[in-house]
């Protein structure tokens, strides 16, 4: 199990004295859509920044037994860690195909960079199919809709053949239909890759999470299935403060209202 | 359409090559041919700037440094060739017994000189670029730093009159690798070499722009962090473009010397470096032909308007720069797609068209 898992142990990130993440441990495995949630400032994005080498951190983050911390960003990527950002960052002036082609490039020999692209890689076609972007091959990424840009980013991670997908608020700003499509996509992707989603959209989390880790002020507050986490009084307190029972009830009612079956436990 | 466009650009380069290599020598007087050769040298440097700045996003404000590496390598060789076995005249002027400085000695060899023109900029730009890009120096800091280097080098040359000729520069070259420079036929040959090198540089960037590297370079320019998260090291991508640009500047500088017959610190300092940038911005920094044609147009303006009305020319360049930046941030070459879109003519024109209108201006 640990062979292909992402195992984070006692992760700490400090910004000149301020402890943004103070000893967080969690793991993520194949076959599950793992959510990292928490109020603003809980350290969710900082955790991802640390794992991907963007922020200096202590502790350990291992992928398949290999230590990631302390390596430069592009080396960590080459170990198979891919991420997206809160604001979709695709190359606006390049077409969808060119975007994906660059993402696929790290598996090619350097000399091939000097040649012109001929045809479309099989991995790119597959990713286009998977993300529903097949019709947008020649479209400049800059004029895609917001949702399509996020999908393009996910497609780039697929083409890049990332073993771990770290997604930072992938459904922010999406319509309900787009959210549902994205959730389905993530569940399909999770069969072969580790998927870790940072989100504070509770509804989306309830519908698609397999396991959830709740962060609060840089520490793990709770960990478990959606039902377990929702039932945790500590979580209720953080999210609802003293607002009391009425909102607690509202929080647990939504899954039924949305009409989605509870995810099976693993 | 995407397949068609590179072909059109290639046809454009072909037309440009015919104009420069066949038509110009037949039509132009010696004087203007030599001027056109000078513009070609600036254009070679400009093609590199287009690569580094237009496609790579590195505002290289100190290309004069690399222009100087090529120019002074060539000038030292030509000076020694002219001096024969002795010591260059200007050195004896200050001290009749002056020995030849040690760093001059290897430039007696033609092979060493040619190697130096190619390798010096590659080494200097490689080390400099590696140090800067790995430390993620970019934007204004990079621009200021490169500009400062040009100023520093110009000052260094000015202050070492005994070793480098100082502000008077190096001049009065009689031979170019054995060819007598006074002979008009040889001067045409030197022009043809410069023009051919310009065409080669255009072909190199044409292939680069349509290659995967070209796409990666644009991606790095627009979203460096994102490229890093795709597993590339953006520093390496930028380094390749920067080194190529330096090499082109050096080649331009090297050909400048036999064509113009003199090289001084004024040709490589801050003002000269900025004029190179101005030409590129004017023509369209990210386009294939824009940098070269822009640099040639500015060069032509400088030698015709600049000599007829020196005090006004500076203002004209300044005004032109402001107008282009304000209304055509992508340079004159961005007019062409609009023009063709308005006319809705079938694709044949664009690439050839880019070459023609401004070249007429250059030659008139």
Number of domains in chain B: 1
Domain hosting residue A37, numbered range: 2-90+162-258
> What are the tens digits of pLDDT across the range B219-230?
999 889 889 989
Q: Is residue A25 part of a domain?
A: yes
pLDDT number for residue A3: 62
Q: Is residue A167 part of a domain?
A: yes
CA distance A104 to chain B (A): 8
Domain hosting residue B306, numbered range: 4-363
| Residues of A with Cβ-Cβ distance to B222 under 8 angstroms | 91-93
**Nearest residue, CB atoms, B223 vs list A89, A112, A117:** A89
| Residues of B with Cβ-Cβ distance to A114 under 8 angstroms | 207-208, 211-213
CB B261, CB B298: distance < 8 Å: no
Number of domains in chain A: 1
Size of interface A-B (CB pairs under 8 A): 75
**Nearest residue, CB atoms, A78 vs list B2, B6, B231:** B231
Q: Is residue A82 part of a domain?
A: yes
In chain A, which residue's Cα lies nearest the Cα of B210? Answer: A116
Tell me the mean pLDDT in the region B281-309.
Answer: 90
Higher-pLDDT residue of B343, B20: B20
Tell me the mean pLDDT in the region B104-119.
Answer: 96
CATH of the domain at A184: 3.40.50.300
Q: Is residue A263 part of a domain?
A: no
Q: Is residue A119 part of a domain?
A: no
Q: Is residue A148 part of a domain?
A: no
Q: Do B226 and A101 touch (CB under 8 A)?
A: no
Q: What's phi and psi for A122, nearest 5 deg? A: -60, -40
Rounded to whole angstroms, how far apart are CA atoms A32 and B18? Answer: 64
Q: Which residues contact A137 (CB under 8 A, 6 or more apart)?
A: A95, A96, A97, A120, A128
Q: Do B212 and A112 touch (CB under 8 A)?
A: yes
pLDDT number for residue B4: 63
Q: Where would I find the beta strands (DSSP E) of chain B?
A: 170-171, 175-176, 179-180, 262-263
Q: Is residue A107 part of a domain?
A: no
Query: A253 pLDDT band (50/70/90 cuts)?
Result: very low
Q: What is the ipTM of this complex?
A: 0.78
CA distance B244 to chain A (A): 14
| Residues of B with Cβ-Cβ distance to A91 under 8 angstroms | 218-219, 222-223, 226
Q: Is residue A11 part of a domain?
A: yes
**Tokens (6 digits) for B100:** 């030849």
- The chain-wide mean pLDDT, for chain B, equals 88
Tell me the mean pLDDT in the region B307-335.
Answer: 84
Query: B344 pLDDT band (50/70/90 cuts)?
Result: low
């Amino acid at each position: 199990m640990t062979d292909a898992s992402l195992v984070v142990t006692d992760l700490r990130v400090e910004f000149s004295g301020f402890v943004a993440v103070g000893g967080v441990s969690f793991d993520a495995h194949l076959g599950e859509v793992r959510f990292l949630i928490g109020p603003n400032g809980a350290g969710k994005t900082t955790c991802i920044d640390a794992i991907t080498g963007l922020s200096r951190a202590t502790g350990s983050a291992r992928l398949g037994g290999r230590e990631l911390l302390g390596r430069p960003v592009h080396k960590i990527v080459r170990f198979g860690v891919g991420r997206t950002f809160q604001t979709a960052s695709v190359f606006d002036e390049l077409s969808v195909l060119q975007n994906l082609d660059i993402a696929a490039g790290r598996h090619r020999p350097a000399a091939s960079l000097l040649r012109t692209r001929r045809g479309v890689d099989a991995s790119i076609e597959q990713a286009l199919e998977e993300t529903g972007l097949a019709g947008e091959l020649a479209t400049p990424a800059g004029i895609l809709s917001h949702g399509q840009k996020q999908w393009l980013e996910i497609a780039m991670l697929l083409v890049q053949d990332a073993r771990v997908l770290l997604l930072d608020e992938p459904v922010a700003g999406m319509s309900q239909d787009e959210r549902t499509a994205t959730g389905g996509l993530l569940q399909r992707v999770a069969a072969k890759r580790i998927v870790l989603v940072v989100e504070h959209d509770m509804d989306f989390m309830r519908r698609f999470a397999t396991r959830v880790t709740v962060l609060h002020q840089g520490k793990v507050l709770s960990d478990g299935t959606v039902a377990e986490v929702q039932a945790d009084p500590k979580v209720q307190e953080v999210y609802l403060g003293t607002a009391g029972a009425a909102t607690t009830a509202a929080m647990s009612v939504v899954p039924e209202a949305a009409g989605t079956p509870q995810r099976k436990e693993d | 359409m995407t397949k068609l466009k590179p072909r059109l650009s290639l046809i454009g380069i072909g037309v440009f090559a015919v104009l420069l290599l066949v038509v110009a020598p037949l039509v132009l007087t010696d004087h203007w041919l030599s001027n056109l050769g000078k513009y070609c040298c600036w254009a070679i440097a400009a093609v590199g700037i287009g690569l580094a700045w237009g496609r790579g996003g590195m505002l290289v404000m100190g290309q004069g440094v690399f222009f100087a590496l090529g120019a002074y390598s060539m000038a030292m060789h030509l000076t020694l060739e002219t001096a024969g076995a002795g010591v260059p005249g200007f050195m004896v002027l200050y001290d009749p017994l002056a020995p030849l400085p040690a760093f001059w000695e290897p430039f007696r060899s033609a092979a060493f000189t040619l190697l130096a023109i190619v390798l010096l900029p590659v080494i200097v730009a490689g080390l400099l670029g590696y140090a800067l890009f790995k430390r993620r120096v970019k934007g204004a800091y990079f621009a200021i730093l490169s500009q400062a280097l040009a100023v520093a080098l110009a000052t260094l040359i000015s202050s070492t009159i005994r070793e480098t000729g100082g502000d008077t520069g190096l001049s009065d070259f009689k031979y170019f690798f054995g060819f007598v420079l006074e002979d008009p036929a040889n001067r045409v040959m030197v022009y043809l070499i410069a023009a051919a090198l310009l065409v080669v540089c255009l072909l190199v960037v044409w292939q680069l722009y349509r290659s995967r590297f070209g796409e990666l370079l644009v991606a790095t320019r627009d979203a460096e962090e994102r490229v890093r998260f795709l597993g590339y090291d953006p520093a390496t991508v930028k380094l390749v473009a920067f080194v190529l640009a330096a090499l082109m500047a050096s080649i331009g500088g090297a050909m400048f010397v036999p064509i113009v017959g003199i090289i001084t610190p004024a040709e490589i300092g801050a003002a000269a470096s900025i004029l190179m940038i101005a030409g590129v911005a004017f023509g369209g920094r990210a386009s294939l032909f824009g940098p070269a044609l822009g640099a040639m147009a500015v060069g032509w303006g400088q030698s015709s308007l600049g000599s007829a009305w020196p005090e006004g020319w500076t203002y004209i360049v300044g005004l032109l720069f402001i107008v282009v930046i304000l209304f055509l941030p992508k340079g004159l070459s961005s007019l062409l797609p609009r023009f063709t879109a308005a006319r809705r003519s079938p694709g044949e024109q664009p690439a050839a068209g880019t070459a023609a209108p401004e070249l007429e201006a250059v030659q008139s």
